Amino acid sequence: MKFTFVTLFQNIVEGYFGDSILKRAIQKEILHIEYLNPRDFSSSKHNKVDDTAVGGGAGMVMNPQPLFESLRKFKSMSTDVHIIFLTPVAKPFKQNDAKRLAKKSHIAFVSGRYEGIDERVVEMYADEVFSIGDYILTGGELASLVLCDAIARNVDGVLGNSDSLSVESFETNLLEAPSFSKPENYENICVPSEYLKGNHSKIRSLKLALSECKTKFFRPEQLLKHRTRKSYEK
Ligand code: ADE
């Protein structure tokens, strides 16, 4: 699967792929990462990419010209690409989106900087628009990395053990039960004794109960969704 980052700041993005799981997936050629800098397409004298907002307002807005030119050329060379814009003015990105988008062969993330991107670019080129949460970042790069990471780990072969995908938080609308590693007793703090007895059906019911507790405490609206879905499935 290929990811293209359309960004003025490749350096911000690049470092993320230099270690761990995604680095390995790139080495195994399961993932391919490339970059496109709209500044390289600017027709202005000093390769300008932004200007003041038409109609007034604080801050600078990314001009349409460098983005139109770069995305037009890019689309003509990559016919199957799915283009995603990152902005706080969008639907929230969810685990279901990560799973759905992992089936695409090529995704491009377009990151805005400054006060955002001229809306005409979004209208012309966005297949989808996502926000990663109700807060404002200095640019879309971090958001695009969040999406890329969440999507990539659902691509076949990226994670070593595909079991780890099926029991994760949000797969059932419940938050995941707590996990523990060795030793069983660390500084006199013990893991729940039920986890140690090897009775897998008991461990499963304890984990479910703990999942429900966590969900009720941190995300009560998710618990409601879980219970509604379960009663619907009966
Ligand atoms: N750019 C700035 N803030 C953002 C957010 N919350 N989500 C996606 N892109 C953004």
* pLDDT tens sequence across 43-72: 999 999 999 999 999 999 999 999 999 999
Instruction: Tell me the mean pLDDT in the region 101-114.
Output: 96
Q: State whether the beta carbon of 137 lies less than 6 angstroms from ligand 1.
A: yes
Common-topology check for domains 2-152 and 169-233: no
Q: Whose CA is nearest to atom 7 of ligand 1?
A: 131
Sheet holding 2-6, edge to edge: 32-36, 2-6, 106-111, 82-92, 128-131
Residue 167 has pLDDT above 70, yes or no: no
Q: What is the pLDDT of residues 179-226, one digit of tens each?
A: 999 999 999 999 999 999 999 999 999 999 999 999 999 999 999 988
Return the domain boundaries, the chain.
Answer: 2-152, 169-233
**Any ligand 1 atom below 6 A from CB of 87:** yes
Atom of ligand 1 nearest to the CA of 134: 6
Q: How many angstroms separate the CA atoms of 12 and 90, rounded?
A: 23
Is ligand 1 within 6 A of the CB of residue 88?
A: yes
Question: 143 in ligand 1 pocket by Cβ < 6 Å?
Answer: yes
User: Could you report the per-residue pLDDT of 119-162, keeping only the tens digit for each?
Assistant: 999 999 999 999 999 999 999 999 999 999 999 999 999 998 76
Strands (DSSP E) found in the chain: 2-6, 32-36, 50-52, 60-62, 82-92, 106-111, 128-131, 185-186, 189-190
| Alpha-carbon span 105 to 78, nearest angstrom | 11
State whether CATH 1.10.645.10 applies to domain 169-233: no
Q: Is 7 in the pocket of ligand 1 (CB under 6 A)?
A: no
Output the CA 189–ligand 1 centroid distance in Å. 40
pLDDT for the residue 169:
75
Under the banding of pLDDT at 50, 70 and 90, the label for residue 164 is low
CATH topology of domain 2-152: Alpha/beta knot (3.40.1280)
Per-residue pLDDT, 231: 79
Which H or E element spans position 70? helix 64-77
Indicate if ligand 1 lies below 6 Å from the C-beta of 135: yes
Question: pTM score, two decimals?
Answer: 0.93
Ligand 1: centre distance to CA 143 (Å)? 6
